[in-house]
Structure formats: C-alpha cells, structure tokens
C-alpha cells in the first residue's frame, strides 16, 4: 500500500470514527433530554393528581352542602305550607298566599337547577374524558456541539445523514400544565 492509499484509508476511518463519536454524543444528549422531559412529565402528573384530589374533596363538601340545603328547604316548605294553610283558614288574603306560593316554587326551581348543574359538574370532575396528552409535547432538541457547523452529526462520506428528531414545539416541553407549581 502506498502512502497516499494509507493516508486516504486513515482519513476515511478517522471520518467514520468522528461520525460515530458525534452520533454517540447526539444520542446521549437526546437520552438526557428525554430523562429531563420524563421528570417534568412525572412532576406535572403528580400536580394534576393533587389538583384532582382537591377538587374531589371540594365536590364532596359541595354535595354535603347541597344535601343539607335540600333538607332545610323541604322543612321550610312544609312549615310555610302549614302557615299558609293556617293563614287561609283564618281568612287571609288569597293574593298574598298565591304570591308566597309562587316565591316558594321559584326557590324550589332554583334549587333544582343548582342540583342539575352540580350533577353535571360532578360528571366533568370525576370523568375520565380529560386528556393529559394534549398538554404534553416532546422534549426540546439539544444544541449543536461547538465547532460542528450547527449540526449534531457529521455524516461519513457517501453515507446518508441521520434522521433528525421530530419537530419540537417552541413553547417548551409542557404547555402550561403545572407551570409554576
């Protein structure tokens, strides 16, 4: 083998080694970024679970309040009905009795609509239809190593360039979920 062939062979092998070293470095950086992203994801999921637990406690408290309110209203309605019957028996004004009955019916309808709204809220809080995946994006790509011309890999002569990572959202790895938590 001549010196030129030997130099050419050495240069090709050197370029291959540099390519493999840069590739290994790029993969290690991506693994590191994925691990960071996983930690952020786990933290976000923990924050979500904590929030759900708090909301479920609030729902239970509101349901207790709603039940007590319904019980109190039923007792009040009985008392008012008894008073109205006594008032009517004593010759009370029928217009006043009708007005009080209308107000009582209005309060009953309001309580019924609150109960309906509470049932819908309970379904949305405890339902499994909320997706976390829409709030999660892939990790950001890593910066290029110094002196590499802006890329993370240098393809060997005659070989195709490696595929880059999927597109990254410019807002970061997690869109506001658990931010500041």
Tens digit of pLDDT at every position of the chain (181 positions): 788 888 999 999 999 999 999 999 999 999 999 999 999 999 999 999 999 999 999 999 988 888 888 888 889 888 888 888 888 888 878 888 888 888 888 888 888 887 777 777 766 655 544 444 444 444 454 444 444 444 444 444 444 444 444 444 444 444 444 444 3
Asked if residues 178 and 50 have their Cβ atoms less than 8 Å apart, the reply is no
* pTM of the predicted structure, to 2 decimals: 0.44
Place of tokens 């802006």: 150
Q: Where are the alpha helices (DSSP H) in 90-177?
A: 94-126
| CA–CA dist 16, 11 (Å, integer) | 9
What is the pLDDT, as a whole number, of residue 66? 85
Asked if residues 166 and 138 have their Cβ atoms less than 8 Å apart, the reply is yes
CB atoms within 10 A of CB 118: 15
What is the pLDDT, as a whole number, of residue 47? 96
What is the pLDDT, as a whole number, of residue 171? 44
What is the pLDDT, as a whole number, of residue 180? 42
Place of tokens 């540099």: 18
Q: What share of the chain is helix, strand, coil (3-state, %, to 5)?
A: 70, 0, 30
Place of tokens 């008032």: 87
What is the pLDDT, as a whole number, of residue 178? 43
Q: What are phi and psi for residue 138, nearest 5 degrees? A: -65, 160
What is the pLDDT, as a whole number, of residue 33? 97
What is the pLDDT, as a whole number, of residue 18? 95
What is the pLDDT, as a whole number, of residue 120? 72
């Amino acid at each position: 083998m001549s010196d030129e062939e030997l130099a050419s062979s050495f240069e090709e092998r050197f370029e291959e080694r540099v390519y493999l070293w840069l590739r290994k470095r790029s993969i290690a950086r991506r693994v590191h970024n994925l691990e960071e992203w996983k930690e952020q994801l786990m933290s976000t999921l923990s924050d979500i679970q904590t929030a759900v637990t708090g909301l479920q406690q609030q729902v239970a408290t509101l349901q207790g309040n709603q039940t007590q309110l319904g019980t109190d209203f039923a007792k009040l309605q009985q008392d008012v009905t008894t008073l109205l019957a006594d008032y009517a028996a004593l010759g009370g004004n029928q217009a006043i009795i009708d007005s009080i009955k209308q107000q009582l019916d209005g309060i009953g309808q309001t309580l019924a609509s609150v109960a309906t709204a509470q049932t819908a809220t309970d379904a949305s809080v405890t339902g499994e239809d909320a997706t976390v995946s829409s709030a999660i994006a892939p990790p950001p790509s890593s910066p290029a190593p110094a002196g590499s011309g802006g890329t993370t890999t240098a393809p060997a002569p005659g070989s195709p360039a490696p595929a880059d990572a999927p597109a990254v959202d410019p807002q970061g790895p997690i869109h506001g979920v658990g931010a500041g938590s």
